Amino acid sequence: MTPTTTTDWQAWQHSWDRQQEWYMPDREERFRIMLDMVEALVGRAPRVLDLACGTGSITARLLARFPDAVSTGVDLDPALLTIARGTFQGDERVSFVTADLKDPCWTAALPHASYDAVLTATALHWLHEGPLAALYGRVAGLVREGGVFMNADRMADRDTPRINAAERALRHARMDEAKAAGVSDWAAWWRLAAQDPVLAGPTARRFEIFGEHADGDVPSAEWHAGVLREKGFAEVRPVWCSPSDTLLLALR
């Protein structure tokens, strides 16, 4: 369904943020560091590709901090893209593209041939290592010389199983407490979306495409860094991490 002015898109954005923060309480800190690195390396008026953009969480924070930035959001999820398009309707700085990142030709649909920064968060763990490595190669072709790619996501270290188990136990205990206090989890949020007259159709199509949740891989930060170097990035390293997540920066 086409977005309408009667839908409260900001309310949907807020509910999406709250649901995501249930999983990642330090989500806003991740975004802040990501934008710090954008400013440090490509300036305050960047052309940005918001990769696997969802509702446009990165784009919203990008434009709030850098009003002269422009953003292209790309995703396949029809429900989240409906919210994104509704939220930014009429903003000439923002455009959205529907594309499957596993399609080798997805970059042809973009409005620009190159970007100062390609940014993504909590998204690429949906991909297995083979498709993810191929995607990194295509991303390298989009980032201009001196530009950056940043991926904020869960990156597992399988060499620290006891630390991993302890961190997971504490995180899930806190999540259980928040859920008992009324916070919506992933499944509850999608049930609400399916009941909304505007989002019901896109939500149904979304589950036809993805199912309940895609079954991807969660390789280590070292794996990501090694592949990004192989694909043409000159420098790669984490610029932020929590006990469960890493923000990896790659410089062309």
% the chain with pLDDT above 70 = 98
The per-residue pLDDT for range 213-230, each reduced to its tens digit, is 767 888 999 999 999 999
| H or E, element range at 72 | strand 70-75
| DSSP string for residues in 175-223 | HHHHHHTT---HHHHHHHHHHSTTTHHHHHHHHHHH-SS-------HHH
Scanning the chain, the segments in alpha helix (DSSP H) are 9-23, 27-42, 57-65, 78-87, 129-142, 161-180, 186-195, 200-210, 221-230
pLDDT-derived band at 42 (thresholds 50, 70, 90) equals very high
Instruction: Please tell me the predicted confidence (pLDDT) of residue 249.
Output: 98
Measured CA to CA, the distance from residue 69 to residue 44 in angstroms comes to 7
User: What percentage of residues in the chain have a pLDDT greater than 90?
Assistant: 83
Q: What is the mean pLDDT of residues 134-154?
A: 98
Asked if pLDDT for residue 48 goes beyond 80, the answer is yes
Is the model's pTM score more than 0.85?
yes
pLDDT value of position 1: 39
More confident residue, 217 or 161: 161
> Quick check: 2 pLDDT over 50?
no
Query: Would you tell me how many other CB atoms lie within 10 Å of the CB of residue 166?
Result: 12
Q: Give the chain's radius of gyration (CA, Å).
A: 18
Range with the poorest average pLDDT among 13-27, 117-131, 202-216: 202-216
Q: What is the pLDDT of residue 183?
A: 82
Task: Please say if the pLDDT value at position 115 is more than 80.
Answer: yes
- Kindly list the structural domains of the chain, giving each domain's residue range(s) and its CATH number in brackets, ordered by start: 9-251 (3.40.50.150)
- The token pair that represents 178 in the structure block: 């928040």
54 to each of 12, 105, 122, how far by Cα in Å?
12, 20, 10
* Residues with Cβ within 8 Å of residue 217, at least 6 apart in sequence: 125, 127, 128, 129, 132
Give the mean pLDDT of 125-141: 96
CA-to-CA dists, residue 86 to 17, 109, 181, angstroms = 16, 20, 30
Mean pLDDT of 156-169: 92
Residue 137 has pLDDT above 90, yes or no: yes
Q: Is the pLDDT of residue 40 over 90?
A: yes
Is pLDDT at 85 greater than 80 in this prediction?
Answer: yes
Higher pLDDT, 210 or 152: 152
Q: Average model confidence (pLDDT) for the chain?
A: 94
Task: Kindly state the average pLDDT of the residues 66-86.
Answer: 98
Say whether pLDDT at 78 is over 70.
yes
pLDDT band at residue 4 under the 50/70/90 scheme:
very low
- The answer to whether 221 touches 57, Cβ cutoff 8 Å, is no
